[in-house]
């Protein structure tokens, strides 16, 4: 599948992979900063952003999509940053395509199986009849009934396309919901990976817990775990300076 992507800067290639309900647009500010040192490629996963839609979605397919993009761009070696399910995509890619990987950063997710904590979000989004709305603010008001956190609503509403005659979703919401069980699955746990890897977690997030350290070390034998203080799951948005410092340090950019 030919994915939508954006490129800025030049030099050592760095590919950034977003998480569930995200897109390459979420990483524009960080990409701009990093592009001062390297070539930054931000990508939309299948069924997200401006990439094509498909009824099929699992980690191997998404890793294959990334590999196709890398081949199309003629890249021989690159660094990877993956957030949330994008982190699992990056881990899966490092297993199937290790020769492409120089270093890997996995942001606030472990290779383990997760519980379906996004079901309430799916339910709220799928219940919306977008034909009834003419403004993004009207949809935000409706979502307030089921999603109280303003930052989460704003993040989700970035997936709305308001450029046409009617408001539509950019994401393939039905397919994401149907394939959600696949996205909860563990990855790479039977395939040790030696690529230098840094797991970065937020101190206020529960996605990577203390007991996950043993699993991470057993799968990623050349890895470290770093914590960003006063940050939750979207730590790159909540503590961008601390996050950027750790990226530059681990990837030897500055």
- Whether 164 shows a pLDDT value over 90: the answer reads no
Side-chain-side CA neighbours of residue 19 (13 Å): 18
- Whether 254 shows a pLDDT value over 80: the answer reads no
Host H or E run for residue 76 = none
Instruction: Report the CATH number that the domain containing residue 98 is assigned in CATH.
Output: 3.40.50.1820
pLDDT of residue 20: 98
pLDDT of residue 31: 97
> What is the band of 191 on the pLDDT scale with cuts at 50, 70, 90?
confident
Q: Do 47 and 9 sit in the same domain of this protein? A: yes
The domain of 170 spans: 119-178
pLDDT, tens only, 138-153? 999 999 999 999 999 9
pLDDT of residue 228: 97
Q: How many residues does the chain have?
A: 254
> What is the band of 189 on the pLDDT scale with cuts at 50, 70, 90?
confident
The answer to whether residues 195 and 94 touch, using CB atoms and an 8 Å cutoff, is yes
- Could you tell me the two tokens for 208? 């990577």
Q: Do 86 and 131 sit in the same domain of this protein? A: no
Mean pLDDT in residue range 218-224: 97
- Whether 45 shows a pLDDT value over 90: the answer reads yes
Q: Is 131 exposed, middle or buried (0-12, 13-18, 19+ CB in 10 A)?
A: exposed
Residues marked active site are found at 84, 233
pLDDT of residue 216: 97
Look up tokens 């021989």; give the residue: 76
Q: Do 206 and 106 sit in the same domain of this protein? A: yes
Q: Do 172 and 228 sit in the same domain of this protein? A: no
Domain boundary residue among 148, 178, 208?
A: 178
Q: Do 162 and 90 sit in the same domain of this protein? A: no
Q: Do 100 and 194 sit in the same domain of this protein? A: yes
If one counts every other C-beta atom within 10 angstroms of the C-beta of residue 214, the result is 9
- Could you tell me the two tokens for 36? 């001062």
Q: Do 56 and 130 sit in the same domain of this protein? A: no
pLDDT, tens only, 223-251? 999 999 999 999 999 999 999 999 999 99
Q: Provide CB contacts within 8 A for 150, sequence distance 6+.
A: none
Q: Do 169 and 198 sit in the same domain of this protein? A: no
Residue 55, SS3?
coil
Q: Do 110 and 216 sit in the same domain of this protein? A: yes
Mean pLDDT in residue range 87-91: 98
Mean pLDDT in residue range 212-229: 97
Integer angstrom CA distances of residue 57 from 1, 95, 114? 11, 18, 17
**Total domains in the fold of the chain:** 2
Integer angstrom CA distances of residue 59 from 63, 120, 178, 235? 6, 23, 14, 23
pTM of the model: 0.97
Q: Do 207 and 162 sit in the same domain of this protein? A: no
């Amino acid at each position: 599948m030919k994915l939508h992507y954006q490129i800025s800067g030049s030099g050592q290639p760095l590919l950034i992979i977003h998480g569930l309900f995200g897109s390459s647009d979420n990483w524009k500010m960080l990409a701009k900063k990093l592009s001062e040192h390297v070539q930054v490629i931000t990508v939309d996963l299948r069924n997200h952003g401006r990439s094509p839609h498909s009824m099929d979605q699992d980690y191997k397919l998404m890793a294959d999509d990334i590999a196709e993009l890398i081949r199309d761009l003629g890249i021989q070696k690159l660094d990877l940053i993956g957030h949330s399910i994008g982190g699992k995509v990056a881990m899966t890619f490092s297993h199937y395509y290790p020769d492409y990987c120089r270093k890997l950063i996995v942001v606030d997710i472990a290779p383990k199986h997760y519980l379906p904590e996004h079901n309430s979000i799916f339910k709220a989004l799928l219940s919306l009849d977008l034909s009834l709305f003419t403004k993004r603010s009207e949809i935000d008001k409706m979502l307030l009934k089921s999603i109280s956190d303003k930052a989460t609503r704003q993040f989700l509403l970035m997936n709305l396309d308001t450029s046409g005659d009617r408001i539509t979703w950019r994401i393939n919401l039905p397919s994401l919901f149907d394939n959600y069980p696949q996205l909860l699955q563990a990855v790479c746990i039977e395939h040790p990976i030696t690529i230098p890897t840094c797991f970065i977690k937020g101190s206020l997030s529960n996605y990577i817990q203390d007991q996950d350290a043993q699993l991470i070390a057993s799968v990623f034998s050349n890895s470290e775990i770093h914590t960003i203080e006063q940050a939750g799951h979207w730590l790159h948005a909540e503590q961008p300076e601390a996050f950027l410092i750790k990226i530059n340090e681990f990837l030897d950019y500055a």
